Amino acid sequence: MPDLGRIAGGIRLSVTTLTVVPLRLGAIDRRAAGVAMSVAPAIGIVLGAVIAGVGLGAVALGTTSLLGAVLAIAASVGLTRGLHLDGLADTVDALGSYRDPEAALAIMRKPDVGPFGVAAIVLVLLAQVASAATMLGRPWYAAAAGMTAATAAGRLAIGFACRRGVPAAREDGLGALVAGTVGRPALVLGLAAVAGVAVASVPGRPWQGPLAVLIAGVAAIGLVRHAVGRLRGVTGDVLGATCELAVTVTYVVGSM
């Protein structure tokens, strides 16, 4: 029999980790954490629909596609507390330092952001805004599908970063709780769901959206492997960086 309490706890953990929605968690173990990371793509689809609605709503009210894209990406940052961007900055600073694992992990713990991290945030946000503006110039259903798929692809990438066999870099923190908890069936179902959403994102090219999701997944796996090689595992910051990388790649490829 499925443990409904653990499943419910995992869903609540996924919502509170990936969005600003506050939910009471209670006791959370690694099995519940595995549920949380497995359902992350579903949370991403809902979140992406809201973000797409912001952009489409702004355009419907008479703004330009560019301003609509800025508002949509701003909503994305706000609805996630900028948590993944923070992880991106810390990960880039750590990996860019070329220090040993212990020193690189110490850099991740520092509250300040270095020049690599700042540059990474700026470039990622610019790429997402420019790509979203292109999508908002398409029919509304295509724009909605493309922006939703990009957001969900980032959360799917977190699942790939937490797949079984990937170790945690530290004995504490989010990475230690979720690393190695997601099985292959959940990843396959998540990939199918996100790719299915992406089919309608490019009118006349039903293959391009799913291809964007697939390329984003490959990029995310590459980043995780590099992080494991440099840091001996993943951390919560690496999960955030993986998410933002996949979101950006999906936006860029999907907007071409």
Confirm if 34 and 10 have CB atoms less than 8 A apart: yes
Q: Indicate the DSSP class of residue 20.
A: S
Distance CA 241, CA 89 (A): 8
Distance CA 224, CA 192 (A): 21
Confirm if 171 and 239 have CB atoms less than 8 A apart: no
Q: What is the pLDDT of residue 100?
A: 86
Q: What is the pLDDT of residue 3?
A: 67
Distance CA 100, CA 116 (A): 17
Confirm if 142 and 202 have CB atoms less than 8 A apart: yes
Q: What is the pLDDT of residue 145?
A: 97
**CA-angle at 102, arms to 87 and 30, nearest 5°:** 60
Helix (H, G, I), strand (E, B) or coil at 234: strand
Task: Tell the residue number behind the tokens 């330009």, with chain if given.
Answer: 64
* Domain ranges for the chain: 47-255
**Confidence (pTM):** 0.94
DSSP-assigned beta bridge partners for residue 168:
234
Q: What is the pLDDT of residue 148?
A: 97
pLDDT per residue rounded down to tens, the chain (256 residues):
456 667 877 788 888 888 888 777 666 778 878 888 999 999 999 999 999 999 999 999 999 999 999 999 999 999 998 889 999 999 998 888 888 888 888 888 887 888 888 999 999 999 999 999 999 999 999 999 999 999 999 999 999 999 999 999 888 878 888 888 899 999 999 999 999 999 999 999 999 999 999 999 999 999 999 999 999 999 989 999 999 999 999 999 999 9
Closest CA to 150 of 123, 166, 129, 164: 129
Distance CA 136, CA 133 (A): 5
